[in-house]
């Protein structure tokens, strides 16, 4: 009886670890998707509303389900409003230093954000629109790669979890 309970526990722990790791791998495309949505909303605010960037950052994450991305844009908004000497690129750099570990982003996503930080707000509406669309296109490609990666590695993580649990059971028995 005890042995059966032990087997079930080990198996559950293995599967749980696999699922946990798979969820981590899926966080990247999820956050990238949220970032794409936020940037698309930001484009609308800039092009049609001529909303100042700090307000645009705050408003573009209204209803965004991804906490990390919401926090990121709110941080940028606060930073730009709070310190008039702070540039957008400085705010992005600071945000990455302070909150970077909370994200599952790879270097590619950060490169897009850095590019936007250097360009956004320094040009007219038309240019800003082009920059945002270019960034969104790049992010879509990154997202597609991240999804494939997550599918592949996610399944593998669950299998490894199950296999590890079985191996441990065999060793113990």
Partner 1 sequence: MHIGTGCAYNEVKGGMKMKADMILENDIFPFLPEKWGQVIREEDARREDAISEVRLRAGEPIRLRYGLHEVALSRDVMVLAREIDRIVSSFCQHSRYAMESEFQNGYITIRGGHRVGMAGQAVVVDGKVKMLKHIHSLVIRIAREVVGSADRVLPYVWKHGRVQSTLIVAPPYSGKTTILRDLIRQLSDGDERNGRCGVIVGLADERSEIAGAYQGIPRLHIGSRTDVIDGALKSSAMMMLIRAMSPDVIATDELGRREDMVAVEEAVHAGIAVIATIHGRYREDVLARMNKTMREVFTLFSCIIFLDNQPTMGTIRAVMRCDDVSEEIL
DSSP 101: G
| Residue 168 CB coordination number (10 Å) | 16
The residues, any chain, with a CB within 8 Å of residue 148's CB and separated by 6 or more, are none
Task: Match 């794409």 to its residue by tokens.
Answer: 36
Contact between 104 and partner 1 (CB under 8 A)? no
Contact between 133 and partner 1 (CB under 8 A)? no
Confirm if 74 and 155 have CB atoms less than 8 A apart.
no
Task: Match 């990238």 to its residue by tokens.
Answer: 32
Contact between 123 and partner 1 (CB under 8 A)? yes
Contact between 14 and partner 1 (CB under 8 A)? no
Choose, by CB under 8 A, the member of 88, 113, 150, 165 that binds partner 1. 88
9 or 74: whose CB is closer to partner 1? Answer: 74
Contact between 140 and partner 1 (CB under 8 A)? no
67 or 127: whose CB is closer to partner 1? Answer: 127
Q: Please report how close the Cβ of residue 140 comes to partner 1 at its closest, in angstroms.
A: 23
């Amino acid at each position: 009886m005890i042995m059966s309970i032990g087997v079930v526990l080990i198996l559950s722990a293995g599967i749980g670890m696999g699922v946990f790791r798979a969820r981590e791998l899926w966080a990247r495309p999820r956050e990238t998707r949220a970032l794409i949505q936020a940037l698309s909303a930001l484009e609308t605010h800039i092009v049609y509303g001529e909303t100042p960037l700090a307000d645009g950052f705050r408003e573009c994450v209204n209803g965004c389900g991804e906490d990390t991305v919401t926090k990121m844009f709110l941080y940028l908004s606060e930073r730009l409003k709070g310190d008039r000497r702070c540039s957008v690129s400085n705010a992005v750099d600071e945000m990455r230093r302070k909150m970077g570990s909370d994200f599952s982003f790879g270097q590619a996503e950060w490169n897009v954000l850095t590019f936007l930080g250097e360009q956004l707000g320094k040009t007219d509406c038309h240019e800003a629109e082009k920059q945002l669309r270019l960034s969104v296109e790049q992010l879509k490609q990154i997202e597609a790669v991240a999804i494939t990666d997550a599918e592949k590695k996610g399944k593998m993580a669950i299998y490894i979890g199950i296999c590890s649990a079985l191996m441990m059971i065999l060793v113990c028995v």
